[in-house]
Amino acid sequence: MLAAAALIVLAAPPAALAHANLIRSDPPSGVVLDSAPSEVDLYFDDSVRAQPGTKAIRNRGGVSVLGGSPHVVGSRELVIPLRGTLPRGDYTVLWRALSDDGHSLGGIVTFGVQTGSRRPTAALSAPDERKPLEVVARWFFFAGILGASGSALFRLALGPRGRPPWGFVLAAFIAAAAGGLVLVQQVTLSTRFGLVAAIAAGIAALGAVLCGAARVDPRADVLVWACGLALLPLPSIGGHALDAGRSRLDLPVDIAHLAAASVWFGGLVSLAYLLRSARGDPVTVRRFSALALASVLVLAATGLVRALGELGSFAHLWTTNYGRWLIAKTAILCALVAIGWVNRYRIRGRDGVVARRALRRNVIGEIVLFGGLIAAVALLTQAKPGRDVIPAARAAVIGRQAAEPVGGAVVLAQNGDDIQLGGRVGNGFALGGAVLWQTAPTEGEAGAVARRDLAAHRTALVVRGVAPQYAVAATTNWVVYATATVPPRLVAVRPDGSGRVVLARRLVAPFASRGDRVAWAEARGNRDRVVVRNMRTGKELVAADVPACSGGRCYRIDTVTLADGGVAFDRGAIGSQPSLIVRRAFGASRFDVAEVSRDPQPDLVPASNGVAYFALGRGWYVWRFGERRPRRVGVPAAVQPLRLEHGVWFAIRRTACSDTLVAIGPDGRVRTLVSPADVRARVGVDPTLCVSFAGLSLAGARPLSTWFVSPPDSHSDEGVTSLLLLGRALG
């Protein structure tokens, strides 16, 4: 295992250049739209630039529908304008882009407009991004930099004894300059790699001129070696070691790795030249042998760091082009190390012409193998590293596209009563034969409420301007939400978005709903009011109207809950006094109060027959209507209760990267309602993705749960799929 690891880390490239990945397109490829899009938007995980060659055609007749020049928005979004209103039919878009590392990207997006359920086919072929000239140019570029900088390092390490042949140094500078100029033409100066290649070409050209000057005036030697050393860090700077989010160690590790490879290569050429003359004495050979050994050790150490960063998994060695070229490079390195071992331990200690010839022959063989090694590096930088290959499971989440985007509602699929949505969404709830949910806010726009007709498979936007920090609820005929205003208002609308009614103008806490009732807390001057409204009859009950501060004590309302027979809320203490749990039955003339000491914010959850709350340091309590005082109840420590319905606790059991929805009966028996495997099976991903619980509501006796499926390292909405899961009736 150690030997295999050593081979892999030795083969890590000196500066592997990562490619940008296409994350998603809008419209998604292969969808049929009810209305024609005005543009095609492509989103990447790294900076890109528009490249000539983009086409957009109507499949029938091949007529171009490109409405303007493609352009990039915000560095990672490529926008392809389309003409006016496209007529009914199938369309194909061939897009071209340039990654910041200088690599060309391309692909196909197809879509249909009002063509029914038939999936559109592509009328254009995906571009072939293989460019033999660019591979050859990269070979000359890297070989020239390795030769020039390696000669300079060899000269500095061995002193006057290590003067390399001027012809080789000149050829190295010319190769780097020629390769750099070709690469600039291929990738343009607008990319970081193109700019670095241009700078390297200029330095190499100057080095070539100085080589000629040094033949006349030896004082120019120092300038030649300075040019060689100046070339050394440029491939690393042009790569992705400086990208945002990369470790600060990446750049020095890249440079050290490149320096070790260059001193080995440049030293081999210099040694082959010196062995032809008297300067190739045993002292020089011994010094270079020590230098080569140190280079191998540095290559191994820095290669280990590079391998950990570039290989996403061990399987990428044989499942990606990058990995296969890595294996080829490893084989060449094995041969180089084997020849070096023979030179060091079998030949170096011998005397005589035969030993000198054998050593020189082996060194020339190493130089030839090094040429193949540089070719492998040139091909490696054309391939996509393992860390940039999106796993199939993750692609199923990141790359899945909306079959029916409506406003901010991105519906990926519907399977029975289960709905898959793009991005993170708020809580979901059922209303008649439809499921509604709160869409995530986008940049510059608040969230919205979307409605999916389960039978017709149609999505509609109910209302916009929804505050994301408040849940959304529904009664029999109303959708209730908080507005994204300051202060937030509580508003009710019909399921079709009509009949807007303002319930509260200054909402101070999340509201609650049960059946036809809605309960909320509002501020009026220095007083807090808790109001319950029957949305069917329009009647309101002011359950409490209390001052926010009284007698030097101040409180705030954090949570309101509704039971079948009354309303409950908390008054969190702003100070050292006890917090209060307040409840009021619908038929009672006044409310009841229970004190909770040493807890500024007791946690309330809905309960069908009273109020359930958690007191810090003491556990869970249930205060039923008809009981004078709360009583402590036992709840398994491994779960987080969500609500208490007719003696059954709904709770979440959390483990690393996986949540489970359970029901705990009056007898303490725990029953699994939704497991991570259930969610993954419905979304169609493997266990490498995380399953997180997001919300729970009840549709009669059926639990409606909301889930997120995301990559383990996702800290944003990118790569996240949501699932609204309408479970079976309990009983």
Q: What is the pLDDT of residue 713?
A: 63
What confidence tier does 610 reach under pLDDT thresholds 50, 70, 90? very high
- How many whole angstroms from its chain centre is CA 193? 23
CA angle 597, 601, 603 (to 5 degrees): 105
How far is 522 from 272, CA to CA, in rounded Å?
87
- Predicted confidence at residue 402, as pLDDT, reads 43
pLDDT at 637: 84
Taking 70 as the threshold, does the pLDDT of residue 630 lie above it? yes
- Number of helical (H) and strand (E) elements in the chain, helices listed first: 13, 41
Question: For residue 61, what pLDDT band results from cuts at 50, 70 and 90?
Answer: confident
- Sequence-distant contacts of 315-319: CB under 8 A, at least 24 apart: 316/386, 316/389, 317/8, 317/386
- Reading the block at residue 457, the tokens are 């498979």
Q: Where residue 394 falls among pLDDT bands split at 50, 70, 90? A: very low
* C-alpha–C-alpha distance, residues 705 and 19, integer Å: 38
> What is the bridge-based pairing of β-strands 71-73 and 48-50?
unpaired
Whole-number Cα distances in Å, 190 to 71, 99, 184, 193, 341? 14, 10, 9, 9, 45
Residue 450 has pLDDT above 80, yes or no: yes
Q: Where in the chain is the domain with CATH 2.130.10.10?
A: 508-633
Q: What is the rounded distance in angstroms from the CA atom of residue 341 to the CA atom of residue 134? A: 35
Task: Name the DSSP letter for residue 131.
Answer: -
Closest by alpha carbon to 96, among 119, 121, 66, 120?
66
How many Cα atoms occupy the beta-carbon half-sphere of 558 within 13 Å? 17
Confidence at residue 246, expressed as pLDDT on a 0 to 100 scale: 57
Rounded Cα gap, residues 572 and 508, in angstroms: 13
H or E element that contains 171 = helix 166-187
Tokens of 69: 């020049």
684, pLDDT greater than 60 = yes
Which one has a higher pLDDT value, 508 or 190?
A: 508
Would the pLDDT of 392 be above 50?
no
Q: Give me 640's structure tokens.
A: 């987080």
For 312-323, the three-class secondary structure string (H helix, E strand, C coil) is CCCCHHHHCHHH
Q: What is the pLDDT of residues 230-257, one digit of tens each?
A: 988 888 777 655 654 456 677 788 788 7
| 3 state DSSP class of 76 | coil
Q: Which of 615, 582, 587 minimizes the C-alpha distance to 601?
A: 615
- Is 70 exceeded by the pLDDT of residue 512? yes
Q: What is the pLDDT of residue 501?
A: 95
554 confidence band (pLDDT: 50, 70, 90): very high
- What is the mean pLDDT of the segment spanning 507-528? 93
Residue 551 backbone dihedrals phi, psi, to 5 degrees = 60, 35
Domain with CATH 1.20.1630 in the chain: 131-388
Torsion of Cα atoms, 165 then 168 then 173 then 179, to 10°? -170
Highest mean pLDDT among 44-48, 366-370, 371-375, 724-728: 724-728
The hierarchical CATH code for the domain 131-388 is 1.20.1630
In sequence order, the 6+-apart residues with CB closer than 8 A to the CB of 614 are: 602, 603, 605, 620, 621, 641
Per the CB < 8 A criterion, the answer to whether 426 and 447 are in contact is yes
**400: confidence class by pLDDT, cuts 50, 70, 90:** very low
pLDDT in the model for residue 239? 66
Higher pLDDT, residue 304 or 540: 540
Mean pLDDT of 481-493: 92
DSSP state of 74: T
Confidence of residue 311 (pLDDT cuts 50, 70, 90): low
pLDDT band (50, 70, 90) for residue 580: very high
3-state secondary structure string, 159-170? HHHHCCCHHHHH
Does 319 score more than 60 pLDDT?
A: no
Q: What is the pLDDT of residue 13?
A: 38
3-state secondary structure of 625: coil
Instruction: Give 584's strand partners.
Output: 567
pLDDT digits (tens, 9 = 90+) for 118-133: 678 888 887 655 566 7
Kindly list the distances between the CA atom of residue 544 and the CA atoms of 88, 482, 540, 679, in Å, as whole numbers in the listed order: 60, 21, 12, 42
Percent of the chain, pLDDT > 70? 73
Which band of pLDDT confidence, cut at 50, 70 and 90, is reported for residue 393?
very low
Closest CA to 475 of 512, 500, 507: 512
Pairing of strands 658-664, 458-466: unpaired
Is residue 170 within 8 A of residue 117, CB to CB? The reply is no
Average pLDDT over residues 30-41: 84
pLDDT confidence band for 603 (50 / 70 / 90): very high
Cβ–Cβ under 8 Å, residues 730 and 661: no
pLDDT, residue 146, reads 82
Predicted confidence (pLDDT) per residue in 68-99, tens digit: 999 998 778 899 999 988 988 999 999 988 87
DSSP tag of 643: E
Average pLDDT, integer, range 169-197: 81
pLDDT number for residue 386: 46
| Mean of all residue pLDDT scores within the chain | 79
Whole-angstrom CA distances from 707 to 327, 675, 703 are: 41, 11, 13
Joined tokens for residue 274: 């010196």
Amino acid in position 309: G
Q: How confident is the model at residue 547 (pLDDT cuts 50, 70, 90)?
A: very high
- As a whole number, mean pLDDT of residues 645-674 equals 92
Kindly state the average pLDDT of the residues 560-585. 95
Would you tell me the crossing angle of helices 282-310 and 2-10 to the nearest 10 degrees?
100
**What integer pLDDT is reported at residue 551 of this predicted model?**
86
Query: What CATH number has the domain spanning 22-113?
Result: 2.60.40.1220
pLDDT value of position 43: 82
> Is 707 within 8 Å of 420 (Cβ atoms)?
no
- Considering 24-33, 169-178, 210-219, the range whose residues carry the highest mean pLDDT is 169-178
- Of 208-217, 260-269, 592-601, 682-691, give the range with the top mean pLDDT: 592-601
CB neighbours (10 Å) of residue 431?
18
Q: What are phi and psi of 340, to 5 degrees?
A: -60, -40
| pLDDT of residue 649 exceeding 50 | yes
> Coil, strand, or helix at residue 186?
helix
Q: What is the pLDDT of residue 142?
A: 81
Q: What is the arithmetic mean of pLDDT over 157-167?
A: 71
Q: What is the pLDDT of residue 102?
A: 65
Q: What H or E segment, with its residue span, contains residue 510?
A: none
**Torsion angle in degrees (nearest 10) through CA of 26, 497, 485, 716:** -30
The CATH number of the structural domain formed by 508-633 is: 2.130.10.10
In three-state form (DSSP H/G/I as H, E/B as E, the rest C), the secondary structure along 5-53 is: HHHHHHCCCCCCCCCCCEEEEECCCCEEECCCCCEEEEEECCCEEECCC
For the ranges 159-168, 450-459, 489-498, 639-648, which has the lowest average pLDDT?
A: 159-168
By DSSP bridging, strand 490-493 and strand 540-547 are unpaired
The pLDDT score that the predictor gives to residue 323 is: 58
For 709, the enclosing helix (H) or strand (E) is strand 702-710
Range in 5-9, 194-198, 494-498, 543-547 the model is least confident about: 5-9
Is there a contact between 507 and 515 (Cβ–Cβ < 8 Å)? Answer: no
Buried b (16+ CB within 10 A) or exposed e, 614-637: bbeeeebbbbbbeeeebeeeebee
66 burial level (CB within 10 Å; 0-12, 13-18, 19+): middle
Q: pLDDT at position 192, please? A: 72
Strand partners, 437: 428, 450
